Amino acid sequence: MATERPSRLRVFSLNCWGIRFFSQLCTQRYEMIGELLCQEQHDIALLQEVWSERDFLFLKRKLSSSHPYTHYFKSGVIGSGLAVFSRHRIQDALLYQYSLNGYPYMLRHGDWFGGKAVGLVIVDVSGLKAHVYVTHLHAEYSRAQDEYLSHRTVQSWELLQFVRHTSCGADLVVLGGDLNMHPQDLGNRLLRSHTGLRDCYTETDTFDGCEDGHTLIADNHFTKKQDLVPFEKGIRIDYILMKGSQRVTMKCESLSTTKGPVADKPFPYSDHEALTAEFALLHSEDSRQRGSSDTLAVSEQMEVVAEARALVKEGLCQTEALRDKAMHLMFGALLLLLLPLAMAFLPCSCSCSFSTLGLLGAVCMVLLLSGALLYLLFTTHIKVLKETEDQMMLTSNDLQTKLTGCQLSGSSSLDGSPEIQPLSPFKREE
Amino acid sequence: MATERPSRLRVFSLNCWGIRFFSQLCTQRYEMIGELLCQEQHDIALLQEVWSERDFLFLKRKLSSSHPYTHYFKSGVIGSGLAVFSRHRIQDALLYQYSLNGYPYMLRHGDWFGGKAVGLVIVDVSGLKAHVYVTHLHAEYSRAQDEYLSHRTVQSWELLQFVRHTSCGADLVVLGGDLNMHPQDLGNRLLRSHTGLRDCYTETDTFDGCEDGHTLIADNHFTKKQDLVPFEKGIRIDYILMKGSQRVTMKCESLSTTKGPVADKPFPYSDHEALTAEFALLHSEDSRQRGSSDTLAVSEQMEVVAEARALVKEGLCQTEALRDKAMHLMFGALLLLLLPLAMAFLPCSCSCSFSTLGLLGAVCMVLLLSGALLYLLFTTHIKVLKETEDQMMLTSNDLQTKLTGCQLSGSSSLDGSPEIQPLSPFKREE
């Protein structure tokens, strides 16, 4: 039963904070990030917030020897900001842009323009098929009054659905990125419980990094201290998650984070800390380590989905209220539009010049157009929220069926992925 | 080697032409469609252009006994129009909205508002896991000057990528819908060659329907004859495609279409003809029927991808030109905006009232806003086209590697799905 020394895989993840003309010392930091990646020779580097294609191309040139395989995911107005650099051959790539991602009129936040998404690259790691996901979810600007909570929850749902349904043939699965969620936030629990992905921070044998694995810390030169309140010590919002397969067991042997200041450098790599995970890849001894905990897992999945469904419903009510407001704006503008028309034809209009009426009309038209655009926007959001709720309901029903043992197979799935049923109507060959 | 009588699966697909207040005799036709589905008891019915949720709910009520499982896919402003009715339990659903789908300002065509997408339902067919896809691609309004060709090609690419990456664990795969493409159109060849899906029309043992399998025919009461020019006999744009798996062989035993007029009814079901396919599901005798044709298949895949890449590049140039025009509009509006400002401060402005200037300013603002919105729109389109081209390039490279036998495995994939590599760095257990 001897096996060779296990293969290893080193994965790096960093939110690069690469907003040109806004993020501080961008050029110098990309130089540092490039040097780090060249030197450390991680197998796969997952980068977020590489907003400028010029910066991506700089890294691509710099890493052409160490990481010859790369993919830069393009979506939205600015881009998704997601980039993968790999020492192993990238066979295929696929992008799923999240259906909800903030509002275009929230220029101050700007997430909408980023086209947030999850990117998948299929990497041939010495003969193993690795499905590697990189993602970046909508930012949380206020924990107390988080107006994007339902959007982030829908994104978490779409992320887990995408991972569940595209990771089926993989030997190993890695997901890295900035989830913009604390470890026990609903979206995070949803993702872990329904995909079977495990958090490297809780799974690792050894950890070397910031206290509690924080990736936003007060010690970082670029961090605005007010963004951390009330978590003065720091927040963990960047993750590397992983799962093996029936063929391969993934073991996280070590996880490390940067700790703000960088030795011999005047400033950190980014306003986020970078993560590095080292995995041992072993032959799966027991390809289906399932047992009595299955029922427990299904119950947990059901609870989390129920919680998420309630939140999506709440988001739906809020969005319906917003759509109503947009409709009121439209009607208001239409009524206002009648005013210059009436004035133009009524005798009292003599005191108003044609131009005044025109100006008033133009203002009404702008208001009407804005109302119509907002109405369209919120209508699409409502469609997405309803679709998500329907999908959650299907999943709930499916889990319920599993739990009550009504299925023909009578078995339940630990990782939440749809179970392969026996060929009951077929008689096996004799 | 005796096997039991094979299981059967009957699948129905119809574009219902359900545009409320526009499509003729909508209510009556939905009544007829409901009756047909109740009576025929297909296992799965895939409907497109069910634009109104009210009509979907009508069908849901009508089919509650015959087809108790259903999913209505919601996206875009109006919806995706996609609905599935099933006699077998739907376990899960997933939606992928196409990234390119026409232009919002093309109100006359209106596809943009429909949020065209591909929907996947995972259906438990007597213990077999069936991945059933329903889709509707952007319409072709002019074959000679098809301004949406690149959009439809990108949709075909996204469709095939979605099917490839989400059908891995399926026992059987069925795709039905209105592809808005002729059988030998690029997008259709792309889809078939890269997913391994086979066209029921060419595969069926027996066929009963319109000549050459047409689904848009001159004999149909609702068809506008000018839409068929120069294909007076008809066009085949609706399809049912299928593939089996290593466990199950799918055999299309019969395919039929409606033929325009319906017996005892005053008009047809829709302006499209409906398709019904009957499949025999058999145990796969040879799970990997691959051989010398592999190289041929890979060559074909490469050729089709190269053709598609060229078309996407062309689309990219056209969209860049459109973006330039939007930018010119913005600059023009900005310059025009300077005019009232200059007039307000120059001595010659005495002859213009404040209101005239305001009106001019308002017009400029509307032009500026329109230009900005169009600029954003075309920028997102460029991102999508570039992403698609990059993905196609990755696939080309991967196929090239397969073809030249540089891969460790030395094998090639017949259906284009990424090949599972041997665990070369691992020593097998002894």
Residue type at position B57: L
For residue range B252-291, list pLDDT tens digits in order. Answer: 999 999 999 999 999 999 999 999 999 999 988 654 544 4
Residue type at position A138: H
pLDDT computed for residue A225 by the predictor: 83
Q: Do B91 and A394 touch (CB under 8 A)?
A: yes
How, if at all, do strands B7-15 and B44-48 pair?
parallel
What is the rounded average pLDDT of the residues B308-328?
Answer: 97
Per-residue pLDDT band at B215 (split at 50, 70, 90): very high
**What is chain B's Cα-based Rg?**
25
Using CA of residue B103, residue B105, residue B107, residue B109, what is the dihedral sign? Answer: negative
Compute the distance between CA of residue A278 and CA of residue A9 in angstroms, rounded to an integer. 6
In chain A, which residues have their Cβ closer than 8 Å to the Cβ of B425? 4, 7, 126-128
Buried b (16+ CB within 10 A) or exposed e, B104-127: beeeebbbbbbbbbbbbbbbbbbb
- The shortest CB-CB distance from A129 to any of B94, B362, B421 is to B421
In chain A, which residues have their Cβ closer than 8 Å to the Cβ of B383? 74-77, 79, 115
pLDDT computed for residue B224 by the predictor: 84
DSSP per-residue codes, B244-313? --SSEEEEEEEEEE--SS-TTSSS-SSSSPPEEEEEEEEE-SSS---STHHHHHHHHHHHHHHHHHHHHH
Q: Which of A147, A142, A149 has its CA nearest to residue A230?
A: A142
- The shortest CB-CB distance from A165 to any of B166, B363, B426 is to B166
Compute the distance between CA of residue B58 and CA of residue B30 in angstroms, rounded to an integer. 8
Q: Does the pLDDT value for residue A194 go beyond 60? A: yes
Q: Does the pLDDT value for residue A421 go beyond 60? A: no
**Out of A182, A272, A328, A381, which one is annotated catalytic?**
A272
In chain A, which residues have their Cβ closer than 8 Å to the Cβ of B353? 353, 355-356
Per-residue pLDDT band at B309 (split at 50, 70, 90): very high
In chain A, which residues have their Cβ closer than 8 Å to the Cβ of B97? 99
In chain B, which residues have their Cβ closer than 8 Å to the Cβ of A77? 376, 379-380, 383
Three-state DSSP class for A283? strand
Q: Do B391 and A120 touch (CB under 8 A)?
A: no
Share of chain B above pLDDT 70, in %: 87
Average pLDDT, chain A: 88
In chain B, which residues have their Cβ closer than 8 Å to the Cβ of A369? 366, 369
Cite the DSSP H helix spans in A258-353.
Answer: 293-345
ipTM of this predicted structure:
0.89
pLDDT computed for residue B336 by the predictor: 86
pLDDT computed for residue A228 by the predictor: 86
For residue range A361-371, list pLDDT tens digits in order. Answer: 778 888 998 99
CA–CA distances in Å: residue A363 to residues A324, A337, B363: 21, 9, 9
Contact B272, B177 (CB under 8 A): no
Q: Do A74 and B390 touch (CB under 8 A)?
A: yes
Interface with chain A: mutation pick from B53, B70, B94, highest number of A CBs within 10 Å: B94
Q: How far apart are the first and last CA of chain A?
A: 33
| Lowest-confidence segment of A5-9, B62-66, B311-315 by average pLDDT | A5-9
- The shortest CB-CB distance from A92 to any of B395, B409, B426 is to B395
| Lowest-confidence segment of A120-129, B106-115, B151-160 by average pLDDT | B106-115
Contact A298, A417 (CB under 8 A): no
Question: B102 or A229: whose pLDDT is higher?
Answer: B102
In chain B, which residues have their Cβ closer than 8 Å to the Cβ of A89? 401
Q: Do B390 and A129 touch (CB under 8 A)?
A: no
For residue range B360-409, list pLDDT tens digits in order. Answer: 777 888 899 899 999 999 999 999 999 999 999 999 999 999 888 744 44
What is the rounded average pLDDT of the residues B335-346?
Answer: 76
Q: Does the pLDDT value for residue B2 go beyond 50? A: no
| Lowest-confidence segment of A219-223, A229-233, B69-73 by average pLDDT | A229-233
Chain A closest CA to B75's CA: distance in Å? 5
Q: Does the pLDDT value for residue A145 go beyond 80? A: yes
pLDDT computed for residue A362 by the predictor: 77
In chain B, which residues have their Cβ closer than 8 Å to the Cβ of A122? 418
Q: Do B124 and A369 touch (CB under 8 A)?
A: no
Average pLDDT, chain B: 88
Q: Give the count of beta carbons closer than 10 Å to the beta carbon of residue B100.
A: 24
Structure tokens given for A22: 């806004």
Three-state DSSP class for A347? helix
Structure tokens given for B5: 């009588």
**Out of B131, B138, B151, B272, which one is annotated catalytic?**
B272
B368 to chain A: closest CA residue: A366
- The shortest CB-CB distance from A168 to any of B169, B359, B394 is to B169
Contact B126, B153 (CB under 8 A): no
Structure tokens given for B122: 């995972």
Interface with chain A: mutation pick from B91, B287, B370, highest number of A CBs within 10 Å: B91
For residue range B123-137, list pLDDT tens digits in order. Answer: 999 999 999 999 999
What is the rounded average pLDDT of the residues A208-214?
Answer: 96
Q: Does the pLDDT value for residue A3 go beyond 60? A: no
Question: A135 or B338: whose pLDDT is higher?
Answer: A135
Q: Does the pLDDT value for residue B313 go beyond 50? A: yes
Q: Give the count of Cβ contacts less than 8 A between chain A and B.
A: 214
What is the phi/psi pair of residue A222, to 5°? -90, -10
Q: Which of A276, A270, A278, A277 has its CA nearest to residue A48?
A: A270
For residue range B106-128, list pLDDT tens digits in order. Answer: 988 889 999 999 999 999 999 99
Per-residue pLDDT band at B318 (split at 50, 70, 90): very high
- The shortest CB-CB distance from B122 to any of A126, A283, A418 is to A418
> Which residue has 């010690």 as its token pair?
A219
| Lowest-confidence segment of A88-102, B37-51, B183-197, B328-342 by average pLDDT | B328-342
Q: Do B74 and A171 touch (CB under 8 A)?
A: no
Q: Does the pLDDT value for residue A381 go beyond 60? A: yes
Q: Do B418 and A92 touch (CB under 8 A)?
A: yes
Compute the distance between CA of residue A182 and CA of residue A199 in angstroms, rounded to an integer. 12
Chain A closest CA to B80's CA: distance in Å? 10
Beta bridge partners of B89: B124
Q: Which of B418, B414, B424, B16 has its CA nearest to residue B197?
A: B414
Using CA of residue B178, residue B179, residue B181, residue B184, what is the dihedral sign? Answer: negative
- The shortest CB-CB distance from B129 to any of A71, A398, A421 is to A421
Q: Do B390 and A124 touch (CB under 8 A)?
A: no
Chain A closest CA to B318's CA: distance in Å? 18
What is the rounded average pLDDT of the residues A400-405?
Answer: 85
Compute the distance between CA of residue B314 and CA of residue B301 in angstroms, rounded to an integer. 20
Chain B closest CA to A42's CA: distance in Å? 18
What is the rounded average pLDDT of the residues B227-239?
Answer: 91
Chain A closest CA to B421's CA: distance in Å? 5
In chain B, which residues have their Cβ closer than 8 Å to the Cβ of A161? 94
| Lowest-confidence segment of A160-169, A221-230, A270-279 by average pLDDT | A221-230
Q: What is the pTM of this model?
A: 0.91
- The shortest CB-CB distance from A4 to any of B3, B391, B426 is to B426
Compute the distance between CA of residue A136 and CA of residue A270 in angstroms, rounded to an integer. 15
How, if at all, do strands B83-86 and B44-48 pair?
antiparallel
Per-residue pLDDT band at A408 (split at 50, 70, 90): very low
Structure tokens given for B134: 């329903």
| Catalytic residue list contains A88 | no
Give counts: helices (H), strands (E), chain B: 9, 13
pLDDT computed for residue A5 by the predictor: 53
Question: A148 or B286: whose pLDDT is higher?
Answer: A148
pLDDT computed for residue A429 by the predictor: 36
Contact A276, A255 (CB under 8 A): yes
What is the rounded average pLDDT of the residues A393-398?
Answer: 95
Cite the DSSP H helix spans in A43-138.
Answer: 53-62, 111-114
Chain A closest CA to B206's CA: distance in Å? 24
Q: Do A283 and B423 touch (CB under 8 A)?
A: yes
Chain A closest CA to B394's CA: distance in Å? 6
